[in-house]
Amino acid sequence: MSETEASTSTGRPKRSTKVPNKYVESHNILQQPSKANGTLRQTQKRKKYDEPVEIIAESPDTLDFILTDIKSPLTTMDISDVVSAAAWGMLSDEAKQKLCHHLPPTAFLDYQPVVDRSHPSQRVGRTPEEGANHDAMDVDPLQRIPGHVDSAMFTDPHFESAARTFQDHLYSGWLTEAHRELVNSHQDGIRSGILHAPWKDDVWIRDHPPIVPPSTTGIMAQPESSQQAGDAAGLRLTDLAQYGVVKTGDIISYKRTFKIDTLTLTIEKDVLIRAIHPKSFVITVLTSPGADSAIPSSLLPPFASAHDFNAAYDSACAESIVREMIITSPSQLENTLLDMDGTVERNRRPHSNAWKHTTLWRFAEGRDVGLQGDLQIAMLLEKGGRECYGTLFYLRGCFYHEN
């Protein structure tokens, strides 16, 4: 019996043993009619690649965008491909000459490391007559020309690290104009004292107020304002200026005694409050430069107008007998005055509460008007005729308990 007859006799078709063709994805095969005979032919779809980004610096604005903006193409590239020896070779001679002035001395082939003459190894064989002016060797001046640039500099780990740091700063927005203005504002605030952080002594007293036990001997305990700061330590000097405890025209007198070895030194120095900022309430004060303790007598009397005071201030500035500074706390005032005096070094200043070493002097009510008629008499009086109102520590405690 044949194969065909066997398959038909059982009623079941014979299974084919031929291996089928492999499946081809339909989205990779396009059926297109052939131009020659009109039949269908299979063509494979080509993969499209992104075209390379071309950076063209045609204007200063475009170059500024590439070097400062956070969306610069340099943030998505490998910086070692952009700043490399190959890129250096494609630059013009004029561009290389300009860039040579910004490269470090170690980037040139004729650079020779020299040990400073203060190093002990350079003192061997030196006679006392030669002294410190003797040079160990004569080194020719470095020639910054493009032909002397060492191409190995571009693969140096320090150079590559600096390039990646620049790329990180560019991506973080630290090279933008807005960030530069923010940094400048913070630096100006630190110099002027507006952003001055509170002193650790004041913070400690504020966070750890002393506990005053009640009196058990029948004797009335002293008020807190004359003993410990307590909760009043939370008040700052700017708060006293805001609520009129400290006013323009007052004198803050600093006095403290130091014991250094066998010596006892007393430092005294006065400052005159010239102005109080209307928003931040930082205080601008005037004082004598150096170790002079008293304020120039021409600035002490009560002036009838701001114009008269400014005229006296300009005259004092012309003679260099007055110095202006900004303060925000008694501790800052103390350190500034001691630095200006220069008698007691920083490492010899024991910790103390500066509020207790500063005294406020002010004209009595109506007395300043009487002194305006005779400025010569006011100049001869102590503190220009002002009266002592107490230490800032005492005034702060009184203000806290009264309010």
32: pLDDT strictly greater than 80: no
Q: Provide the 8-state DSSP code for 72.
A: -
- Average pLDDT over all residues of the chain: 77
252: pLDDT strictly greater than 60: yes
Do 242 and 158 share a domain, yes or no? no
Q: Categorize the per-residue pLDDT at 167 as very low, low, confident or very high, splitting at 50, 70 and 90.
A: very high
Do 367 and 234 share a domain, yes or no? yes
In a domain, 213, yes or no: no
The CA radius of gyration of the chain, in Å to the nearest whole number, is: 41
Q: Categorize the per-residue pLDDT at 69 as very low, low, confident or very high, splitting at 50, 70 and 90.
A: very high
12: pLDDT strictly greater than 80: no
In a domain, 129, yes or no: no
243: pLDDT strictly greater than 80: yes
What pLDDT does 220 receive? 42
Do 99 and 242 share a domain, yes or no? no
In a domain, 278, yes or no: yes
What is the pTM for the complete model shown? 0.45
Q: Provide the 8-state DSSP code for 174.
A: T
In a domain, 43, yes or no: no
Do 291 and 385 share a domain, yes or no? yes
Do 273 and 395 share a domain, yes or no? yes
> Are 324 and 274 contacting, i.e. CB atoms less than 8 angstroms apart?
yes
Structural domain count, the chain: 2
Q: Categorize the per-residue pLDDT at 17 as very low, low, confident or very high, splitting at 50, 70 and 90.
A: low
Q: What is the pLDDT of residues 137-164, one digit of tens each?
A: 555 556 677 778 888 989 999 999 999 9
Do 388 and 257 share a domain, yes or no? yes
Do 238 and 363 share a domain, yes or no? yes
Lowest mean pLDDT among 2-16, 143-157, 172-186, 283-297: 2-16
What pLDDT does 369 receive? 54
Q: Which residues contact 139 (CB under 8 A, 6 or more apart)?
A: 112, 114
Do 165 and 254 share a domain, yes or no? no
The long-range contacts involving 112-121, CB below 8 angstroms and separated by at least 24 positions, are: 112/139, 114/139
Q: Categorize the per-residue pLDDT at 329 as very low, low, confident or very high, splitting at 50, 70 and 90.
A: very high
Q: Which domain holds residue 91?
A: 60-116+141-175
Q: Categorize the per-residue pLDDT at 281 as very low, low, confident or very high, splitting at 50, 70 and 90.
A: very high
Do 241 and 389 share a domain, yes or no? yes
Most confident of 48-52, 393-397, 399-403: 393-397
33: pLDDT strictly greater than 80: no
What pLDDT does 352 receive? 82
In a domain, 7, yes or no: no
Q: Provide the 8-state DSSP code for 23.
A: P
What pLDDT does 251 receive? 93
Do 96 and 231 share a domain, yes or no? no
Find, among 238, 241, 162, 236, the residue nearest to 205 by Cα. Answer: 236
Calculate the alpha carbon distances from 325 to 167, 233, 271, 335, 381 in Å.
40, 24, 10, 12, 25
Average pLDDT of span 76-93? 91
In a domain, 152, yes or no: yes
Q: What percent of the chain has pLDDT over 90?
A: 30
- The two tokens of residue 196 are 């001055």
What pLDDT does 107 receive? 87
319: pLDDT strictly greater than 90: no
Q: Provide the 8-state DSSP code for 290.
A: T
Burial of 242 (0-12, 13-18, 19+ CB in 10 A): middle
In a domain, 319, yes or no: yes
Lowest mean pLDDT among 138-147, 148-157, 216-225, 274-283: 216-225
Find, among 301, 292, 299, the residue nearest to 315 by Cα. Answer: 299
How many whole angstroms separate alpha carbon 149 and alpha carbon 165? 22
Tokens 């501790």 identify what position? 331
Do 388 and 258 share a domain, yes or no? yes
How many whole angstroms separate alpha carbon 394 and alpha carbon 358? 10
Do 263 and 395 share a domain, yes or no? yes
What pLDDT does 286 receive? 92
What pLDDT does 75 receive? 92
Average pLDDT of span 231-238? 86
Q: What is the pLDDT of residues 349-378, one digit of tens each?
A: 878 889 999 999 998 876 655 555 566 676
In a domain, 14, yes or no: no
